[in-house]
Structure 1
Amino acid sequence: MHEKTTLNQIKNTKTKWLFSFLILFFFTTLNAQVSAVEKIASYGYSKRFSDSSASKKIQQQALNLAKKKKNIDDEVICYSYLALTQRRLLHLKEFTRYADTAYILAQKSIKTRVKAFASLAMGNLKSYIDDKPQAIDHLLHSYTLFSKINAHDQCAKIAADISYLFSPASPEKVHKYAQEALEHAYKAKDPESKLYARLAYGGYLTDKLESGTEKDWQKTLDFLKTTVVLAEKESFDIISKSNIGIAYINLADLYSKGPKPINETALFDNLEKATAIAKKYNIKIIYRSAIGLQGFYYTEKGNYVKAEMLFIEGIKYQLSLPYTDNYLLATFYNCLKEVSAKRHDFEAYYAYDTLFTKYNQLKYNETTQKLLQNADARFESSKKMERIKQLELENELEQQNKLLGYGIAGVLLLGLVFMFRSYYFRQRYYLKREEILKQEQTNSELKLQLMEKETIENLATRLSLERRLLRSQMDPHFIFNALGNIQSMILQKDTIPAVSYLNKFAKLTRQILEQSRKETISLEEEIGTLKNYIELQQLRLNNSFEYAIVCDESVEEDILIPPLLIQPFIENAVEHGLKPKPKEEKGVLQINFSQQTQQRNLICTIKDNGIGLTASRKLKTNENHTSLSTTITDERLAKMQKDHPYAGFQVLERNADNGETGCIVIINIPIL
């Protein structure tokens, strides 16, 4: 007994575990799903370096689409991408507005991915305005949420940013998040994420060299060289070109700090590549670092002329741009001051110092203004965050009160309903039970009778249609005339033609009998039946007419069509058009097939050079022959129009003004 109880407990535990796993998998899949609007916004964000104007335009289109659909989740993600783009463009006002909007709207969403994007945008804003504690809190929250839905590409970048924020105060956390960034990047298999993570881990290794050995330096060098190789190999797929430039700068800087003699070739090769990227993509910090490293190297080496030329070249390039970077100019003039002092060129030192003082003051003013803006932004952001928390508490309290009210009302309503139900239905239950059973039995009998009646009527209708269709195809006059001609040929001892035509007649009869019971036949089968029928008509009319059947190149012979639709019109063409023609005039019957693929429609055009509709009506020939074939065909095509609106036919008189006689029949046959 105890053993059985234990087994049941194990089974229940497994069932609960499996159920929990399925729930977790379902919500993970739901939260990880990327919408079409997010894909558009992400594509626009990817163009922020190559074409910032197009980047903002595409993201704004994605936002408008989300608003049109009234999808708050997509709106939050679009606002988050726009906020990150404004950070790249250094527009604090727009950056703040988009990040705050995303964060406020995200409170209305239940999706993990949406909340993760909002926290990412807010974390980047706090980092930009130098609010490190808040930046770390928001980025850690975003990192946790993205980890839950296995968004490894986002996790890699966020973990790298967190490692930078912890540097240099907490080396252990720098190492922890840089290592996790690498792990997520290689799971994501995304070149940009890998480079982002490797830069963070490379920064951690470089910081350790202050107390490291030459062996540590070599290990760091190998890591940074591998980073550069991977960046060059996958440069096309890396959107943030500045990261490639940083990889070159980091490697060059490491060479400059390495053991003597310094590998000058490797140093300058990496600096030249970094400078090229800085100029191509207008990345100021990369350009400043590349020129500065070269200048410092030549200054320490004692080549002051070369160092001065480099700094002057950097100043000329900066002054050629449509904007002024006071920080960069002040840095270069300060370097020129130091070079002039070492050369004992005090006249040049004075000139450079004057310009340094000018741009340094402008730089100081800009820095002061930025600090004030950041302080204002931090203050406004703090106020908004407090207001958001207050609103959240108010909403939560209001929601709790609503739920409590709904609960009480629901309990009372359920009690009243239960009491009424117990009183009312118990009274009526026994009274109506017998009546309901009798009614159900009567209904069942009626349904059975109705189904039997419908089945018999449908079967009768189908059999009637098949018989009428068969009769319309096998006209008695045609059968007797064909057999009479074959008999005449046998009596005249034309054995070979007689046998040939007898075979054709037998084959035609079998084909019509078989096809009249089929729903569909191939076009190839239909053409074969028509050929047998026309050749027998030629025999009956002593070859007084010729025929041709042509299929356009667009027609596929294995398409399926309803059977026995075309023969009645050929019968009319032969009987009422070609047969009455004078014997000295040769009759011609032309049949053409073309296909409308998109409409699923086969067009059959039948032309004859007979006497035409008007003359045929005047002759009133074959009054005793009542042909129902055209009427039945019209009924069949009319029934098909429900699913195939193009089904139908039209009969036209040929243009007598051009010397043409006869009729044209155009049949639109549905392809099944």
Structure 2
Amino acid sequence: MAALQASQKDGNKEDEAICNAYLALTHKRLLHLKEFMKYAETSYDIANSIKSNRAKAFANTAMGYLKSYTDDKSQALTFFLKAYALFNTMQSDDQSAKLGADISYLFSPNSQEKVKKYADEGLSFAEKSGNPESILHARLAVGSYLSDLVAAGETNRWQEAVSFFNQTITFIEKNEAKIDSKSNIGVAYINLAALYMNGPKPIDEQAFLLALEKALIIGKQYGIKSVYRSSMGLRGQYYVAKGDYRTAESLFKEGISYQQNLPYKDNYLLAAFYDCLKNIAAEEKDYKAYHEYDTFFIKYNTLKYDESTQQILQNADAKYESEKKMVRIQQLEQENKLQKKNQLLGYGISAVLLIGLIFMYRSYYFRQRYHQKREDFLQQQQANNELKMELLEKETLENLAEKLSLERRLLQSQMDPHFIFNALGNIQGMILRKDMDLAVLYLGKFAKLSRKVLEQSRMETITLEEEIQTLENYIELQQLRLNQSFDYQIALASSVDEQLHIPPLLIQPFIENAIEHGLKPLEAFQKGMLSISFEEEQEENLLICTIKDNGIGLTASRKQKTDDSHRSLSTKITDERLLLMLKDNSQAKLEVRELTLDHDGQQGCMVTLYIPIL
């Protein structure tokens, strides 16, 4: 701050821009989003007002980290690549090394070729600079690339990755006093331990535990939550996988106790530890302990979710304000260009007047008309730009409010209250009948389904594979509840990729309707059948989901309803979501058709969803 005040006093705009960039990065580490955004944008404004590549490089770096912080990867890459090119031109190896590493992270996992390119370039610049801090930062990027290759199935690269991280650890031990970013040291040990755990079996237990112990020391000594969390979690998972539940339980309880004694609790970590303790209790069939741990898990998971939601909203507000300001800056730049053009025209007019007084009156007359038209044009363009900004602000706020409202209503309506009531009633009946194994199975499936619904309701997209897993869990619960009175099958066309992305929780309401209003009312002697199929129209970029049942049909179902005004809230919200999707894909739609009696006496209903692939 003192350097910023000195630069302002001296009127040195280049130093002022750079000082603002450094202050932005300082507030980034302190998690002060408003201050981070203010100093980053101030640095960018000042840098663009002067001719200094050095100021522009630091300003674009600060803006890149701001966009990355608010999850705007595309804009982050744009700013980082500009800064990277400028620092390369200035031969600033230290800054180029850090940016090369961070750019490689942003390209992961979509472009492994670019991940490798920028990670290798970053390490090359770091070694030229000789700065231990930059070298470690770049080595972690290269190590992350190697670890990703191993995780993707290239097991032949495992030994190369382990050797690289062992070399990194040796480098750390020689230069630890010169490395300020202690979190990077902890990350190096965590990554090495993760490689051992996921490598060939049996693992090198001594090396694995030693790496975690060093990471744990770093996490505790410097209060680095992520390092401490990963160290305790990996160690606990190792002992759980090994079957040593007592050691794993002791580690998780030790982690909980440590967190409880801190002034600021890590709700994410506490929820994760209680979830692990729940799993251990379930394995040992200690239902009393399971209930106790589940109570605490729900408490901290709710707190974690509230914190996450608050962060998402805060980032969304910051992103909107930043984009609004960028539009305004572009408008001002356009106005400045027009003013410069008018200035040049004024000089031209003066030159013409100086050439000869004989043409003065004529020149003055026509030039006045030209300026009047130009002024009218500028006023009209400024009015149009202001109108565009007002429309952009209104549309952005309306879309954000509509989206948040729709997602909130979807989350509240997905689990039908009647289904939850019946599920809990069935569990109670099983417990009263002392059918404990079935009750635990039913409760586990119900808890898993509830968690999946909560998690996926917060996501923009999920894979088709995840959607099918959630549907299978839901249908199996319904089979248990209805005493296996119906069967089901899910079929995928050979051309359908299970990893394609679709909006979450879009299909479940129609499965629920087919079971509740079609299959459930069937006579006891009739066996229900639910068929779900998926096909892909690549030209239209659509996934076609067909849901067919052999239930009583739409006409008979409507006759059985006592309240004609009732309509499934989740189905209504799904219709609203489809209407929103029409803005991006005009082919998104829903078709419902009643199946008439065939020669075998079969009837039912068929629903066809045309879902945009995201």
The normalised TM-score by structure 2 is 0.57
Kindly state the Cα deviation for residue 409 of structure 1 after the two structures are TM-superposed: 3.4
2:178 alignment counterpart: 237
Q: Deviations over 1:559-611 (max 9, x none)?
A: xxxxxxxxxxxxxxxxxxxxxxxxxxxxxxxxxxxxxxxxxxxxxxxxxxxxx
- Whether 1:193 and 2:134 are equivalent positions in the alignment is yes
Q: Hey, what's the Cα distance between the residues in 1 that align with 2:128 and 2:352?
A: 52
Could you say if the C-alpha distance between residues 410 and 255 of structure 1 is closer, same or farther in structure 2, counting changes exceeding 3 Å? farther
Q: Hey, what's the Cα distance between the residues in 1 that align with 2:345 and 2:179?
A: 54
Could you say if the C-alpha distance between residues 101 and 304 of structure 1 is closer, same or farther in structure 2, counting changes exceeding 3 Å? same
Structure with bigger gyration radius: 1
2:189 alignment counterpart: 248
Q: Hey, what's the Cα distance between the residues in 2 that align with 1:349 and 1:71?
A: 64
Q: Hey, what's the Cα distance between the residues in 2 that align with 1:181 and 1:333?
A: 40
Q: Hey, what's the Cα distance between the residues in 1 that align with 2:275 and 2:352?
A: 80
Q: Hey, what's the Cα distance between the residues in 2 that align with 1:415 and 1:318?
A: 86
One-letter code aligned to 2:245: Y
Matches within 5 A, 1:144-543: 144-406=85-347, 408-409=349-350
Q: Hey, what's the Cα distance between the residues in 1 that align with 2:181 and 2:127?
A: 18
Q: Deviations over 1:472-519 (max 9, x none)?
A: xxxxxxxxxxxxxxxxxxxxxxxxxxxxxxxxxxxxxxxxxxxxxxxx
Could you say if the C-alpha distance between residues 415 and 300 of structure 1 is closer, same or farther in structure 2, counting changes exceeding 3 Å? farther
Q: Hey, what's the Cα distance between the residues in 1 that align with 2:94 and 2:192?
A: 24
Q: Hey, what's the Cα distance between the residues in 1 that align with 2:356 and 2:218?
A: 76
Kindly state the Cα deviation for residue 403 of structure 1 after the two structures are TM-superposed: 3.2
Kindly state the Cα deviation for residue 105 of structure 1 after the two structures are TM-superposed: 1.2
Q: Hey, what's the Cα distance between the residues in 2 that align with 1:350 and 1:200?
A: 42
2:30 alignment counterpart: 89
Could you say if the C-alpha distance between residues 410 and 326 of structure 1 is closer, same or farther in structure 2, counting changes exceeding 3 Å? farther
Matches within 5 A, 1:131-142: 131-142=72-83
Kindly state the Cα deviation for residue 280 of structure 1 after the two structures are TM-superposed: 1.3
Kindly state the Cα deviation for residue 405 of structure 1 after the two structures are TM-superposed: 2.5
Kindly state the Cα deviation for residue 413 of structure 1 after the two structures are TM-superposed: 5.9
**Partner SS, residue 401 of structure 1:** helix
Q: Hey, what's the Cα distance between the residues in 2 that align with 1:212 and 1:398?
A: 59
Q: Hey, what's the Cα distance between the residues in 2 that align with 1:242 and 1:339?
A: 30
5+ residue gaps, structure 2, are 358-614
Q: Hey, what's the Cα distance between the residues in 2 that align with 1:370 and 1:349?
A: 31
5+ residue gaps, structure 1, are 1-59, 417-672
The normalised TM-score by structure 1 is 0.52
Could you say if the C-alpha distance between residues 411 and 365 of structure 1 is closer, same or farther in structure 2, counting changes exceeding 3 Å? same
1:65 alignment counterpart: 6
Q: Hey, what's the Cα distance between the residues in 2 that align with 1:333 and 1:255?
A: 25
Kindly state the Cα deviation for residue 398 of structure 1 after the two structures are TM-superposed: 1.2
Q: Hey, what's the Cα distance between the residues in 2 that align with 1:89 and 1:414?
A: 64
One-letter code aligned to 2:56: K
Number of residue pairs aligned between Structure 1 and Structure 2: 357
Could you say if the C-alpha distance between residues 214 and 107 of structure 1 is closer, same or farther in structure 2, counting changes exceeding 3 Å? closer
**Partner SS, residue 402 of structure 1:** helix
Q: Hey, what's the Cα distance between the residues in 1 that align with 2:105 and 2:311?
A: 21
Kindly state the Cα deviation for residue 182 of structure 1 after the two structures are TM-superposed: 1.1
Q: Deviations over 1:36-79 (max 9, x none)?
A: xxxxxxxxxxxxxxxxxxxxxxxx11111111111111111111
One-letter code aligned to 2:17: V
Kindly state the Cα deviation for residue 324 of structure 1 after the two structures are TM-superposed: 1.7
Q: Hey, what's the Cα distance between the residues in 1 that align with 2:52 and 2:230?
A: 42
Q: Hey, what's the Cα distance between the residues in 2 that align with 1:273 and 1:410?
A: 77
2:65 alignment counterpart: 124
- Structure 1 runs of 4+ aligned residues shifted over 2 Å read 210-215, 403-416
**Partner SS, residue 234 of structure 1:** helix
